[in-house]
Structure 1
Amino acid sequence: MYIQQIRNATIIVHYAGKKFLVDPLLSDKGLYPPFLAGIREDMRNPIIDLPMSVHDIIKDVDAVILTHLHLDHYDDIAKEVLPKGIKVYVQNEQDAKQVKNDGFQQVEILAEDTLFEGIQLIKTQGEHGRGEDLLKITGQVCGVVFKHANEKTLYITGDTVWYDGVQKEIDSYNPEIIVVNAGDNSWHDMGSLIMGKEDVYEVHKAAPNAKIISVHMEAVNHWTLSRKELKRFGEEKGFSSSLFVPEDGETYTF
């Protein structure tokens, strides 16, 4: 397995001989308005460039996974450039309907027993923030676990904060690699939308032998946790050897 950070939550996962594209945000820098979240509202999204060409990102992709359909996980350029016959996995019927309306022909809802070319894909739960009011705004999200006899178990948490649902998924699947969305992106005074540094530490405590890869950082206007700060926190808490904080374009092999 190897995992490449592209930008924001967009990653490429090479797993059991297949190439997966997760949560594609493929536009040029500044194409979209800022999220009106009370932070850096003078900066258009995404606030940084892609580290490589869109052609290189989507070349030879076997399947796409959309953990949810927020703009920074599934944007207009992705809708335009991805082949309409490619396999696309989504979290529920509502998202499937939207993606089909965008012209994609092979759309499947993730379940606990989804199989793609011998790879087990398991939908996991998530909460895109804390508190009923914020969750009404952010809506339903998911993560995904990858399993195959010849690979380590991989858990992509998606846009979630740490809560007992994430603990349950870790306990259920004992992942050896965990990808967390950890820019601590926030919405006004309503709090965090995704994991911050303390959440990442909780993931480590729940899975002390797992390697943790932190993505969804410094790419859209409402981030609050920098790569530098997360790395420093990992050192302070003594888990830096288990924590990977990639720059855009960086690849890890496991």
Structure 2
Amino acid sequence: MEIQLVRHATLRVTYANRTLLVDPMLSRAGELAATPNTPNQRPNPLVELPVPAESVIAGIDAVLVTHIHRDHFDQAAADLLPKEIPVFCQPQDRERLTECGFLNVTPVADEIVWEGIRLGRTGGRHGTGDIGEKMGPVSGFVLRAEGEPCLYLAGDTIWCEEVERAAADHRPEVAVVFAGAAQFVTGGPITMTAEDVVCLAGACPSARIVVAHMEAWNHCLLSRSELRAHLRERELDGRVLVPEDGEVMRFDKTLP
């Protein structure tokens, strides 16, 4: 398995000889307005893609959208992606993606099989209280295939009962979490904090953890350097990876 962090939550995942593009956000730096009611009002994204958008989508076999907030699926992605490509999503987002012109949208209610890959959906919480409710439904996904490590894409979620259950049920060998401790002027974080990442690492004691969703959107306040320092204090820096944009990571199946 190969995972490339493109930028923010956008990943290229090569798995069982298929390449999935996860949460494509392909706008140029500063092209989108800042998220309202957040501690700074810098236009988004904060940084450019590490390679041209056309290179990001080149050679992909399918698209996986955890949810359709604009930092996970933007108009640039809707314009650039071929409309016939398979798109997998949570059931609540099927209509919106179909309205964007995509012809092969498959909602994942529980689990499907595509090209030999079992793709299951997991739950999460995009914040707490009223803010969590207003953020709407979000999903994670678990990928399994012969000869590949079990991959858990947690999605936009804080550490919560649903994530803890997914870790216990699926026992992933690799987990990708969306961190950045994103938040508004009021209320708590809506994506994982440094301590949330530690909690997930504790729940998946044999897994390698990859942390994305960092330093590219205006309300993500946790920096890579701060997270790395926290992980060193907890002696997790060898197992939890905090890649730079464009970085490629390879993982093999753990032998029984």
Query: What range is the shorter-chain TM-score in?
Result: over 0.9
Aligned pairs (5 A) from 1:1-254: 1-41=1-41, 43-92=42-91, 94-131=92-129, 133-254=130-251
1:89 is paired with a residue whose SS is strand
Measure how far apart 1:157 and its partner are.
0.2
1:169 is paired with a residue whose SS is helix
Give 2:52's aligned amino acid. S
Give 1:243's aligned amino acid. V
Unaligned runs of 5+ in 1: none
2:31 is paired with a residue whose SS is coil
Q: How many percent identity over aligned positions?
A: 39
Q: Deviations over 1:103-127 (max 9, x none)?
A: 0000001133311100000011010
Q: Deviations over 1:41-76 (max 9, x none)?
A: 1x1000110000111110111110111100000000
1-side partners of 2:186 and 2:171: how far apart? 35
Q: What TM-score results when the alignment is normalised by the length of structure 1?
A: 0.97
2-side partners of 1:135 and 1:247: how far apart? 28
> Does the 8 A contact of 1:89 with 1:110 survive in 2?
yes
Measure how far apart 1:136 and its partner are.
2.1
Measure how far apart 1:191 and its partner are.
1.1
> Does the 8 A contact of 1:215 with 1:246 survive in 2?
yes
Give 2:9's aligned amino acid. A
1:240 is paired with a residue whose SS is coil
1:184 is paired with a residue whose SS is coil
Q: What TM-score results when the alignment is normalised by the length of structure 2?
A: 0.97
1:241 is paired with a residue whose SS is coil
Give 1:32's aligned amino acid. L
Q: Deviations over 1:191-245 (max 9, x none)?
A: 1010000000000111111100000000010011100011111100011111100
1:168 is paired with a residue whose SS is helix
Give 2:83's aligned amino acid. K
1-side partners of 2:61 and 2:114: how far apart? 10
Measure how far apart 1:137 and its partner are.
1.5
Measure how far apart 1:189 and its partner are.
1.5
2-side partners of 1:38 and 1:176: how far apart? 35
Give 1:197's aligned amino acid. A
Measure how far apart 1:181 and its partner are.
0.3
2:125 is paired with a residue whose SS is coil
2-side partners of 1:192 and 1:216: how far apart? 13
Unaligned runs of 5+ in 2: 252-256
2-side partners of 1:99 and 1:113: how far apart? 19
> Does the 8 A contact of 1:183 with 1:226 survive in 2?
yes
2:11 is paired with a residue whose SS is strand
Could you list the structure 1 runs, at least 4 aligned residues long, displaced by more than 2 angstroms after superposition: none
Q: What count of residue pairs does the alignment treat as equivalent?
A: 251
2-side partners of 1:86 and 1:23: how far apart? 14
1:179 is paired with a residue whose SS is strand
> Does the 8 A contact of 1:91 with 1:142 survive in 2?
yes
2:162 is paired with a residue whose SS is helix
2-side partners of 1:164 and 1:126: how far apart? 8
